[in-house]
Amino acid sequence: MLTLEEGRFLVKLARSTVDGYLKGKSPEIDKSKLTPNLLEKRGVFTTIYKVSRRRKELRGCIGYPYPIKPLYEAVMDTAVESAFHDPRFSPLRKEELNEVVFEISILSPFEKIEVKSPLEYPEKIVIGRDGLMLKYGVYSGLLLPQVPVEYNWSAEEYLMHLAMKAGLPPDGWLIKGVEIYKFTAQIFVEKSPNGEVVEEKIYQEVEK
């Protein structure tokens, strides 16, 4: 688990990287703040939201599902990709930078969900805790754990949208041979554009 200070560093790094890209220069990194956690290779997604009147609208989201780079480098890469190369959106403009918030999701390793029948998948998923990735041949799709919470999806709806994200029909998660993996994410986000960074906990374990 990352500390709040490490999470703040990553969110601010994402913003400064995008700001630097718009200005044609690289951000200055305080190497003294690169802790072992920040140097570890981790999967990570950078999400950008446009905020207005307390509403958040997706403005870009790109990530590395697998741990292929040190975390701080992966955040820099995905911040640029989210801001300027998400094919769903036009590139972020300089004047928008003060209208968006940055969110960083650090992923745990993937765990394959074992089932005897695809019909068992919904009961194996905990909304708010589990992010999901679907793999089927050349098809793949991933949804972060905060997504079904934002849209108030049931487990079945979550799986339907996951299948569509992978390029399959809504009931594609029922196809024989489909593999579904779960993961968790530690999430850090700006409360307002360039504002305070907090850790967002969308799921709380209940002690029994």
154-169 per-residue burial string, b: 16 or more CB within 10 A, e: under 16: ebeebbbbbbbbbebe
126-154, pLDDT tens digit by residue? 999 999 999 999 999 999 999 999 999 99
User: What confidence score (pLDDT) does residue 208 get?
Assistant: 34
196-206, pLDDT tens digit by residue? 999 998 876 54
What percent of the chain has a predicted confidence (pLDDT) above 70? 98
Scan for tokens 């041979």, then name that residue: 177
In the chain, the domains with their CATH numbers are 4-108+184-200 (3.30.700.20), 111-182 (3.30.1490.150)
What is the model's pTM? 0.92
Q: What confidence category does residue 207 fall into, taking pLDDT thresholds of 50, 70 and 90?
A: very low
CA distance 78 to 46: 6
| Nearest Cα to Cα of residue 172 among 164, 180, 184, 181 | 164
**Both structure tokens of 45:** 């997604």
